[in-house]
Amino acid sequence: MEQFAYIRVSTKEQNIDRQLAAIEPYQVPAENVYCDYQSGKDFERPAYQALMKRLSEGDLLIIKSIDRLGRNYNDILMQWQCITKEIRADILVLDMELLDTRERDGNLTGTLIADLVLQIFAYVAQTEREFIRQRQAEGIAAAKARGTRFGRTPIAMPEEFDRLYAEWTAGRISTRSAARKLGVSHSTFYRRCRAKMEKDQKSVSDGTLEDTE
């Protein structure tokens, strides 16, 4: 049986000393300490992938906290299952005593408790994400009801827009020429023309288009 340690920080500017100090009492050989300097958004990390190739049945993987393994609890659950059930190695999370899959007193209590605790963490994390999305949606709806507008403020078109729009729809002027006369980009002019066309078409279908004659 070998002992391994996994350390992760988001950038090379961040310090790994705290995590190294935490695993020091376990005397993990230097060649068995793997460290990634990148985000925990997924598990496509070079050091982690190299660690997984070496991890074998009966080995122990030590990490300081569960978020060093990853940020997404659903992904963490999949990796946890892979390590403990497929590879059949153990995991010890130093910051949480219950996340320790090693056998205790000759039984599987450690594995059962650790699996259950991690499942609860995953459920709580997923529920909190859903609550956050719900609160955001409710906040946006309430703000819209109060008249708050979201997104960039549309560029105000000069008074000549309607005349140039009419010339553009008649094919007497190009998009770039019209935009240049108005002092806006051709993409801005084109978007406003499209918006006006859609508004006019909707007015026709609703029977609300004003009589221009």
**DSSP class of residue 32?**
G
* Neighbour-count burial for 163-198, b at 16+ CB within 10 Å, e otherwise: ebbebbeeeebeeeebbebbebeeeebbebbeeeee
CA dihedral sign of residues 151, 196, 163, 181: positive
* CA pair distance 153, 210, nearest whole angstrom: 27
Residues 6+ apart with CB under 8 A from 194: none
Distance CA 97, CA 92 (A): 8
Active-site annotation holder among 10, 39, 187, 203? 10
- Integer Cα distance of 168 and 196 in angstroms: 12
56 is catalytic: no
Distance from C-alpha of 67 to C-alpha of 48, rounded to nearest angstrom: 14
Residues linked to residue 93 through DSSP beta bridges, in sequence order:
63
What is the C-alpha to C-alpha distance for residues 205 and 211, in angstroms, rounded to an integer?
14
> Could you give the residue numbers annotated as active site?
10
